Structure 1
Amino acid sequence: MEENKHVTIYDIAEKLNLATSTISRALKDHHSISDKTIKKVKKAAKEMGFVPNTLAAGLRGNKTKTIGVLIPTVTQPFLSSLISGIEITAQKSDYSVIIMQSHDSYHDEVNMAKSLYSNRVSGVICSLAMETRDTSHFQQFSNNNIPLVFVDRVPKDYNTFRVVIDNYSAGYKATKHLIEQGCLRIAHLTAGSEFGNLYNERKRGYVEALRDHNLPVDEDLIIDLKAVTYEEGVKASNKLFDVKPLPDGLFASGDIIAVSAVQTAKKRGLKVPEDIAIIGFNNDPISQIIDPNLSTITHPAEKMGKAAADIIIKNLKSAKNEDVQEIAFLNTEVLVRESSKRKES
């Protein structure tokens, strides 16, 4: 046999002088094939190095047992934990996972969606790119009964499965924590309203917490970032620390933004938390490395990934189309660390 040649059922059939249909059935333990023949076929297949082509089999049946995952990047701790949750659940049901990164580009997201569709994935899990406003490129999945689940960054007006946290409640809790620490001028660094509903909801929670505690909502203390990056966080922090009087509390809508604020504050001679108490969002690993350790809001990424994969698999196994549902995880928590702790609880 030629080197690097893939062994097929035709090769096994030729060696054993059997029909290819017999080989195919024997490899699947079909009841129409005798135990003796099944053993003989499987032994020959093993000796010859035969590996089943699951992709080709999937294409014939129009099911590849593959879940496509389309996310902005694999480098963010939240998204890597999300992927881990998806893979854990997928593997338990013998599904494989294809991961594609949009790098927060709408154009790339459209092309990646096309690629996933052409690869005939069984289902799709997506966290939207920052640039995405039009979600019509996902219609190809919905139109062909391919289950689609949006996670975390979800569109406002697309009727499909969603796995989210209660971002409003989380934003409210973060701001309330700062108020309980004695903060009266609380700032908010956010990704901006144009970047999707989750940041809007966190901001809405921030605003409502201030109003419920009779504190003013000062627009000078709310800064929209162009991107959720350390560099943009530094720019926004410097702008914020030029405001007079200075804010004494800060809720950042992501840990990387909060970390940039902590380091910028220290460079400007401000003490954290004495001069300004800071809390982030996500509980990324960096939150426990920065000095002082960063207070943050937990974000159950792995659990969300497991839930999204579970929705896909249950939907594929179901004989009937289930009603579209939204799963909201309400169990985000405030993790109090040194960056915001002014009072003993």
Structure 2
Amino acid sequence: MEPVTIKDIAKALKLSTSTVSRALRDSYEINAETKRLVQEYATKMNYRPNPIAQGLKENRSRAIAVIVPEIANNFFSEAITGIEDVANNLGYDVVIFQSHESYDKEVANVRNVVARRVDGLLISISNQTKDVSHLSDLHERGFPLVFFDRVSDEIDTYKVVADNFSGAFMATDHLLNTGRKQIAHITSAAGLYITKERLSGYKAALEKHGIPYDPDLVHYCCNFDSQEMDGIIENMLSKHPRPDAIFTASDRLALACFEVLSRRGIRCPEDLALIGFTNLKVAHLLSPALTTVTQPAFEIGQAAVELLIDLIEKKKRQMGGSYLIKLPTELVVRASSV
């Protein structure tokens, strides 16, 4: 069956197409009885507006783009679910791109975003991204842009993140309170906002307990695989004294770390305590169950897309200064650290 159009409704009710169109938009120009007839008939015939035609008329696509490093990452998959939850309810479609942690791929994705003529962009930058000119160019042209999770300090727009400092502080403080003294920190690329914030929280907890910061206990990891982790653990175990705990800046790092430690016969928490960061759904199923800092990925996605749509619909103005929104994190203590 062909979809019902405004022309079909107008013909059936012997009205002009402009009258039907205004009635469907609940225009004040149309009397209440005509609105009722049009809207009841439209409902009966299962009328749905044509989004392409609407977009042409409004000079909008009713679509937004999202660029993330990797959809398979549980944090980003949850954030996307939150984004779609809000966007779809507000009449927007969501187009998703992956950078796969590649700067070049991210730049290509941004070009595709522009070519698709979407109304706005949500982005979490790759761990290779140092130059953000491809994004600042968009922003300077007035294109609605909101960062989430991995953000840039160089662009003054809305940014939605977890409270990374507090989460890292709680994790490190917990390990110190259980008697650990040599706490290694395995983290992501050095230039990322989340890396800096989580490292700052780690340092602050050490300072609180009067323990000097040792840069040799901090290791940066970019590939998130067991081969890279194997080299990091090998380096750690060669230190004297050896670390008695590891705080990783993501659960992906924690899983890679867990795999290498298990293969080497190192027990958690007896030989070495372990804490991850984010919200891996199977953390409680590991043996031992993984202590982790959880961050509200779904809510971060919701908050970010609400801000973006407000920018698109001019409910908020592009700002002359960055507006950083932090959502709280929570430490979930399990067997890997106690």
Tell me if both proteins adopt one fold, taking TM over 0.5 as the criterion: yes
Between the aligned partners of 1:272 and 1:21, the Cα distance in structure 2 is 71
Partner of 1:91: 88
Between the aligned partners of 1:13 and 1:46, the Cα distance in structure 2 is 14
Q: Which amino acid aligns with 1:81?
A: E
Between the aligned partners of 2:174 and 2:270, the Cα distance in structure 1 is 15
Partner of 1:223: 219
Cα 1:36–1:166 change in 2 (3 A) is closer
Between the aligned partners of 1:106 and 1:266, the Cα distance in structure 2 is 33
Q: Which amino acid aligns with 1:203?
A: L
Q: SS of the residue aligned with 2:247?
A: strand
Summarize the alignment of residues 168-183 of structure 1 with structure 2, pairs less than 5 Å apart: 168-183=165-180
Between the aligned partners of 1:130 and 1:10, the Cα distance in structure 2 is 52
Q: Which runs of 5+ in 1 are unaligned?
A: none
Instruction: Determine if contact 1:68/1:123 at 8 Å carries over to the other structure.
Output: yes
Partner of 1:273: 269
Partner of 1:250: 246
Summarize the alignment of residues 257-268 of structure 1 with structure 2, pairs less than 5 Å apart: 257-268=253-264
Cα-to-partner distance string for 1:3-30 (whole Å, 9 max, x where unaligned)? 9x88766677789997654564565465
Q: Which amino acid aligns with 1:180?
A: N
Q: SS of the residue aligned with 1:131?
A: coil
Q: SS of the residue aligned with 1:285?
A: coil
Size of the alignment, in residue pairs? Answer: 336
Q: Does 1:311 align with 2:299?
A: no
Q: SS of the residue aligned with 2:277?
A: coil
Between the aligned partners of 1:57 and 1:153, the Cα distance in structure 2 is 34
Summarize the alignment of residues 53-202 of structure 1 with structure 2, pairs less than 5 Å apart: 53-194=50-191, 196-202=192-198
Q: Which amino acid aligns with 2:237?
A: F
- How far the C-alpha of 1:52 sits from its partner, in A, is 3.2
Between the aligned partners of 1:37 and 1:281, the Cα distance in structure 2 is 54
Between the aligned partners of 1:67 and 1:262, the Cα distance in structure 2 is 38
Between the aligned partners of 2:9 and 2:137, the Cα distance in structure 1 is 39
Summarize the alignment of residues 16-27 of structure 1 with structure 2, pairs less than 5 Å apart: 21=18, 24-25=21-22
Cα 1:76–1:230 change in 2 (3 A) is farther
Q: Does 1:52 align with 2:49?
A: yes
- How far the C-alpha of 1:72 sits from its partner, in A, is 1.1
Task: Supply the RMSD in Å over aligned alpha carbons.
Answer: 3.0
Q: SS of the residue aligned with 1:309?
A: helix
Partner of 2:285: 289
Between the aligned partners of 1:30 and 1:185, the Cα distance in structure 2 is 69
TM-score normalised by the chain length of structure 2: 0.86
Bigger drift between 291-300 and 134-143 goes to 134-143
Q: Which amino acid aligns with 2:111?
A: K
Q: Which amino acid aligns with 1:309?
A: V
- How far the C-alpha of 1:46 sits from its partner, in A, is 7.4
- How far the C-alpha of 1:59 sits from its partner, in A, is 3.0
Instruction: Determine if contact 2:291/2:335 at 8 Å carries over to the other structure.
Output: yes
- How far the C-alpha of 1:266 sits from its partner, in A, is 2.5
Q: Which runs of 5+ in 2 are unaligned?
A: none
Q: SS of the residue aligned with 1:275?
A: coil
- How far the C-alpha of 1:311 sits from its partner, in A, is 1.1
Between the aligned partners of 2:110 and 2:100, the Cα distance in structure 1 is 13
Between the aligned partners of 1:116 and 1:255, the Cα distance in structure 2 is 30
- How far the C-alpha of 1:158 sits from its partner, in A, is 0.9
Between the aligned partners of 2:289 and 2:35, the Cα distance in structure 1 is 65
- How far the C-alpha of 1:187 sits from its partner, in A, is 0.8
TM-score normalised by the chain length of structure 1: 0.84
Cα-to-partner distance string for 1:304-330 (whole Å, 9 max, x where unaligned)? 111111212333344562645534435
Between the aligned partners of 2:75 and 2:298, the Cα distance in structure 1 is 8
Bigger drift between 17-26 and 94-103 goes to 17-26
Between the aligned partners of 1:257 and 1:37, the Cα distance in structure 2 is 59
